[in-house]
């Protein structure tokens, strides 16, 4: 079976299981929405203040909700020895990583689609100056974050590293990503700041490439006994 | 021929396997016998490439790569490898694709063999323990493996299902599929195999051909050796 077929096989398996129970997806979406409402209450009336930290408020629910997903997503694989079933099979572990990454991304994408419009609705934000830049940032930024998250969780579950390490390791690794997405989101929301966005987008793309391509190729070597 | 040469395995500083030498010819069926904790499951894990021995060598049949060896291998472990929120059919389709070939008729065939065809669209979570075990056996046989690792495959099966599995093993033996069978019913394992290998505290301490009259003398000798070692 080709590499792509293996990726699709894993993606299909996980999404079929997730969409059958929907409990993870629902809790991710509800969490993001409630958190958005919470932030709205906390920063109520301080329109000026909100403007300054708007990018953070837009991203925080999305990122935390994504974190919620990393451990739970694909957890069926850790029951009844299903992971052993994969490890004794001829599957390429890079395909396992990529299939999970795409599946996780699908869930986070659904969170973005529901949570970001609410951000504009609740926080009475002006319509973004550049909706194209905002979309690009959302899509690229969440991909990068999901990529590190899935990389760390897959590593933790397939080796002796404990999964408690994931939330500790993810933030230092994600610092360059956060810098880029906050800058870009600010440029997208407020036109006057629009400068040097190409550089940040390049950084984001480079970051995504590293955390997508490297694990895809390394996992098969890393996890081979 | 699959060959283990001088395999040593440590787990948490415990010497679980002790200079194991084993030759497993294509089509040969081996009964792996030994008390609890003798190292039978650990030996199967080494053969299934799940754990890496600390020293020693695995020589795969006709110098195959690890990936090619995995394709030839079918595994029934105490864990079923099943996804409980998927149906039996979905489970088998997933595992079939994992090994490459998609063939619906083959899925139906193995489901009929293990008598689960009529419930194939039901979620595995609703299955009884024995039904899950039967599905696990179907999963392992789906891709027509040449070598089978069977760790307590009769566990949880009722007498009728045991009979079915027994006949499946005998059939496969005729067709040239080799297997290593770990079972606590050592007399039954003896009946189903060409050769018996005895393990005790991580070592292979005796081997013998599974002849018709040979079981009781073999077990007697095994008890004597164990007594000798522990005294
Ligand atoms: N993860 C582990 N860490 C430490 N010791 C282990 C581990 N797994 C197995 N062992 C030890 O290795 C020895 C062999 O275990 P193994 O499971 O291979 O025995 P077995 O022959 O399959 O026994 P049983 O008949 O009970 O299934 C046991 O003494 C066990 O305590
Ligand atoms: Mg065992």
User: Cβ contacts of residue B19 below 8 Å, gap of 6+?
Assistant: B6, B7, B8, B56, B203
CA-to-CA distance for B144 and B94, rounded, in angstroms? 15
Are A88 and B97 a contacting pair at CB < 8 A?
no
CA-to-CA distance for B149 and B49, rounded, in angstroms? 12
Arithmetic mean of pLDDT, A151-172: 81
User: Cβ contacts of residue A38 below 8 Å, gap of 6+?
Assistant: none
Give the number of domains in chain A: 1
A13 CB neighbours in chain B (<8 A) are 83, 86, 94
Q: pLDDT band at residue A11, thresholds of 50, 70 and 90? A: very high
pLDDT > 90? residue B58:
yes
Closest residue to A225, CB basis, from B52, B68, B94: B52
Are B84 and A86 a contacting pair at CB < 8 A?
no
Domain around A145: 3-223
Q: What's this model's pTM, rounded to 2 decimal places?
A: 0.91
ipTM: 0.91
Q: How far is CA A224 from CA A79, B7, B49, B178, in A?
A: 21, 18, 9, 25
Are A81 and B77 a contacting pair at CB < 8 A?
yes
Q: pLDDT band at residue B226, thresholds of 50, 70 and 90? A: confident
pLDDT digits (tens, 9 = 90+) for B136-189: 999 999 999 999 999 999 998 999 999 999 999 999 999 999 999 999 888 899
B48 CB neighbours in chain A (<8 A) are 88
B40 touches ligand 1 (CB under 6 Å): yes
Arithmetic mean of pLDDT, A34-41: 85
**Which backbone phi and psi does B74 adopt, to 5 degrees?**
-120, 140
Q: How far is CA B165 from CA A185, B84, B115, B180, in A?
A: 62, 22, 11, 14
- What residue's CA is closest to ligand 1, atom 24? B36
What is the CATH number assigned to the segment(s) B2-72+147-230?
3.40.50.300
Are A76 and B84 a contacting pair at CB < 8 A?
yes
Q: For position B176, what pLDDT does the model report?
A: 92
pLDDT > 70? residue A192:
no
Atom of ligand 1 nearest to the CA of B78: 27
In the stretch 123-152 of chain B, residues with CB closer than 8 A to chain A read: 139
Residue pair A13/A43 in contact (Cβ under 8 Å)? The answer is: no
pLDDT > 80? residue A199:
yes
CA-to-CA distance for B163 and B167, rounded, in angstroms? 6
B38 touches ligand 1 (CB under 6 Å): yes
Greater model confidence, A124 or B114: B114
B13 touches ligand 1 (CB under 6 Å): no
Q: pLDDT band at residue A60, thresholds of 50, 70 and 90? A: very high
pLDDT > 80? residue A50:
no
Arithmetic mean of pLDDT, A59-84: 90
Residue with token string 């690794």 = A173
pLDDT > 80? residue B24:
yes
Arithmetic mean of pLDDT, B91-118: 94
Can you give the residue ranges of every domain in chain B?
A: 2-72+147-230, 82-144
> Please, what's the b/e burial string for A68-83 (b: 16 or more CB within 10 A of its CB; e: otherwise)?
bbbbebbebbeebbbb
CA-to-CA distance for A157 and A134, rounded, in angstroms? 34
Q: pLDDT band at residue B124, thresholds of 50, 70 and 90? A: very high
Count of C-beta atoms within a 10 Å radius of residue A172: 7
Atom of ligand 1 nearest to the CA of B42: 18
B39 touches ligand 1 (CB under 6 Å): yes
d(CA B16, ligand 1 centre) in Å: 7
Greatest mean pLDDT among A35-49, A128-142, B130-144, B212-226 lies in B130-144
Q: pLDDT band at residue A64, thresholds of 50, 70 and 90? A: very high
**Low-confidence winner among A26-40, A202-216, B186-200, B211-225 (lowest mean pLDDT):** B211-225
**Which backbone phi and psi does A190 adopt, to 5 degrees?**
-120, 115
pLDDT > 60? residue B106:
yes
Q: For position A194, what pLDDT does the model report?
A: 55
pLDDT > 70? residue B21:
yes
Task: Give me A196's structure tokens.
Answer: 């040097």
pLDDT digits (tens, 9 = 90+) for A106-151: 999 999 999 998 888 876 667 777 888 999 999 999 999 999 999 9
B83 CB neighbours in chain A (<8 A) are 13, 17, 76, 79-80, 82
Q: Beta B2-11 vs B14-24: how paired, if at all?
A: antiparallel
Q: For position B80, what pLDDT does the model report?
A: 96
Arithmetic mean of pLDDT, B192-210: 92
d(CA A88, ligand 2 centre) in Å: 17
How much is the mean pLDDT over chain A? 88
3-state secondary structure of B17: strand
Task: Give me B208's structure tokens.
Answer: 């013998």
Q: For position A38, what pLDDT does the model report?
A: 87
A6 CB neighbours in chain B (<8 A) are 98
pLDDT > 60? residue A225:
no
Count of C-beta atoms within a 10 Å radius of residue A36: 24
Element (H, E) at B90: helix B88-98
- According to DSSP, residue B120 is labeled T
Closest residue to A88, CB basis, from B49, B90, B94: B49
Q: For position B162, what pLDDT does the model report?
A: 93
Q: For position A164, what pLDDT does the model report?
A: 78
Are B67 and A87 a contacting pair at CB < 8 A?
no
d(CA B11, ligand 2 centre) in Å: 14
**Low-confidence winner among A82-91, A169-178, B11-20, B220-229 (lowest mean pLDDT):** B220-229
Residue pair B162/B154 in contact (Cβ under 8 Å)? The answer is: yes
- B82 CB within 8 Å of a chain A CB: yes
């Amino acid at each position: 079976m080709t590499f792509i077929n293996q990726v699709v096989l894993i993606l299909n398996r996980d999404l079929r299981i997730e969409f059958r129970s929907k409990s993870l997806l629902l809790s991710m979406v509800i969490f993001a929405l409630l958190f958005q409402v919470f932030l709205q209450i906390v920063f109520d009336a301080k329109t000026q203040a909100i403007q300054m930290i708007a990018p953070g408020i837009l991203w925080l629910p999305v990122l935390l909700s994504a974190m919620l997903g990393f451990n739970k997503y694909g957890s069926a694989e850790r029951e009844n020895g299903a992971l052993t079933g994969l490890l004794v099979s001829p599957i390429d572990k890079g395909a396992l990583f990529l299939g999970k990454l795409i599946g996780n991304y699908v869930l986070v994408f659904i969170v973005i689609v529901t949570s970001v419009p609410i951000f504009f609705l609740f926080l009475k934000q002006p319509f973004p100056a550049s909706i194209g830049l905002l979309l690009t940032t959302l899509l690229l930024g969440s991909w990068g974050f999901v990529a590190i998250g899935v990389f760390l969780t897959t590593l933790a579950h397939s080796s002796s590293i404990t999964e408690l390490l994931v939330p500790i390791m993810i933030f230092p690794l994600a610092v360059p990503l956060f810098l880029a997405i906050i800058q870009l989101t600010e440029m997208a929301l407020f036109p006057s700041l629009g400068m040097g966005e190409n550089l940040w987008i390049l950084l984001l793309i480079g970051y995504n490439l590293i955390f997508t391509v490297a694990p895809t190729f390394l996992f098969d070597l890393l996890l081979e006994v | 021929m699959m060959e283990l040469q001088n395999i040593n395995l440590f787990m948490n500083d415990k010497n679980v396997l002790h200079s194991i030498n084993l030759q497993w010819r294509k089509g040969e069926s081996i009964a792996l016998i030994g008390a609890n904790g003798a190292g039978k499951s650990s030996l199967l894990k080494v053969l299934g490439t799940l754990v890496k021995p600390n020293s020693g060598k695995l020589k795969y049949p006709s110098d195959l790569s690890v990936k090619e060896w995995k394709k030839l291998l079918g595994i029934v472990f105490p864990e079923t490898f099943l996804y409980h929120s998927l149906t039996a059919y979905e489970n088998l389709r997933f595992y079939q694709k994992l090994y490459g070939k998609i063939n619906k008729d083959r899925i139906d065939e193995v489901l009929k063999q293990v008598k689960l065809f009529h419930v194939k669209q039901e979620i595995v979570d609703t299955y009884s323990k024995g039904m899950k075990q039967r599905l696990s056996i179907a999963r392992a046989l789906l891709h027509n493996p040449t070598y089978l690792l069977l760790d307590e495959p009769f566990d949880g099966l009722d007498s009728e299902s045991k009979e079915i599995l027994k006949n499946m093993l005998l059939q496969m033996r005729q067709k040239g599929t080799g297997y290593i069978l770990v079972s606590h019913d050592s007399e039954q394992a003896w009946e189903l195999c060409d050769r018996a290998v005895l393990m005790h505290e991580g070592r292979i301490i005796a081997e013998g051909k599974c002849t018709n009259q040979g079981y009781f003398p073999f077990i007697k000798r095994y008890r004597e050796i164990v007594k000798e070692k522990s005294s």
